[in-house]
Structure 1
Amino acid sequence: MSDLETRLAAIVRADPGLMHVLEGVRDQGLPDWRIFSGAVYQCVWNALTGRPAGYGVRDYDVGYYDPDTSWDAEDVVIKRVAAAFDAPFRDMVEVRNQARVPIWFPAHFGEPYAPLSGTDEALARFVAPAFAVGVRLEPDDTISVAAPLGLEDVFALTLRPNPTRGVARDWPRVVERARARWPELTIIAPETA
């Protein structure tokens, strides 16, 4: 585990809400699962800027990978995970089968989305390196980290477009929402990314 991964794991452990969700999801035994995106990078940004744990977190994105891409199969998992939590977490944990993302992503975001072979592969397609971080609470209570674009941006409070994909159509909105909650962010514009 790298120094930044060790640091990230310590920050995650200090966030009681995120740990509660990690424990609850782990107990569901989902295949190839991670909690990623806002619940993770916002946890780090809160720790770095002295904000309370949970500040800015609207939901906990849970990705898992099941080759069964039927809506019925995913719906069973969504309901099972929701039933494992009490309010407010029941309504904040958002579960999505990453194998199904290519089915709905183009219509929702107006961009193509090639099939995936696993959950961690999805992270490399996130709109910013700072967002492309996932964590999982393993059976031995260690926290594993997936960050295909590195952890440097999340710890540097830097928001830049993902250099391995085109700039997201809603990039200005992404920046505006993040900067409204964490004005300390350094924003690197798409032209200079």
Structure 2
Amino acid sequence: MIKTEQDIIQLVQKDVWMMDILHTAKTLHLPDWWVCAGFVRSKIWDVLHGYTERTPLPDVDVVYYDPSCCDTKVEKELEQRLFSLHPCIPWSVKNEARMHLINNLPPFTSSVDAISNFTETVTALGLTLDEDDGLVLTAPHGIEDAIRMVVRPTPYYLQSEERAQIYEGRVSKKNWSQTWPKVTITHIL
């Protein structure tokens, strides 16, 4: 049963594949780095659904925060470095110092600030390793929606109809309830 952030950390610590992904991401020595979004959410939902096989991920999101270099070519080079270490992983690397431009948000102050502005609360989750390889979870909106399997928008996407449409389009495209039938989608339009 998953009830606390510590429960999630223990689940991940026991998952050799996930820990390998985190150790691989750490080799890049990126500032303020996290492996986030579906990487964390899917593990929680797979466990809560009793799945014994991991649900395949369309990508493994690695984010970091470096306002001194916002060149997308650097992100692609970092993806290639990760791909050379693990060619079967669909790596996606993004510098959150520039990602605010995608949805016309104010500039982010950190990776956790960026994660807090992901579209859904259940996706606003991230994992990193500290200097001693201790596992750290960030959940800016808490873990309650993830463990209750309720998809709802983060506050930014409730501020206008245009933003609500971004949320609605994304949850429609993702179609999570087909993979995880116990998931409840909160619609706002």
Instruction: Give the % identical residues.
Output: 27
Per the TM alignment, residue 81 of structure 1 is displaced from its structure 2 partner at its CA by 2.5
1:145 aligns with 2:142: no
Secondary structure at the aligned position of 1:169 is classed as helix
Q: TM-score, normalised by structure 1?
A: 0.84
Distance in 2 (CA, whole Å) between partners of 1:23 and 1:168 is: 37
Match of 1:169? 166
Per the TM alignment, residue 164 of structure 1 is displaced from its structure 2 partner at its CA by 3.7
Give the counterpart letter for 1:73 in structure 2.
V
CA contact (8 A) 1:36 1:132 kept: yes
CA contact (8 A) 2:41 2:123 kept: yes
Match of 1:180? 178
Distance in 2 (CA, whole Å) between partners of 1:158 and 1:137 is: 27
Distance in 2 (CA, whole Å) between partners of 1:83 and 1:168 is: 38
Instruction: Let me know the Cα RMSD of the aligned residues.
Output: 2.0
Secondary structure at the aligned position of 2:119 is classed as coil
- Runs of 5+ consecutive residues of structure 2 not aligned to the other structure: 159-163
CA contact (8 A) 1:78 1:96 kept: no
Match of 1:38? 38
Runs of 4+ in 1 over 6 A off after TM superposition: none
Secondary structure at the aligned position of 2:166 is classed as coil
Q: TM-score, normalised by structure 2?
A: 0.85
1:81 aligns with 2:82: yes
Match of 1:119? 111
Q: How many residues align?
A: 180
Per the TM alignment, residue 71 of structure 1 is displaced from its structure 2 partner at its CA by 2.7
Distance in 1 (CA, whole Å) between partners of 2:33 and 2:4 is: 21
Distance in 1 (CA, whole Å) between partners of 2:114 and 2:180 is: 25
Match of 1:51? 51
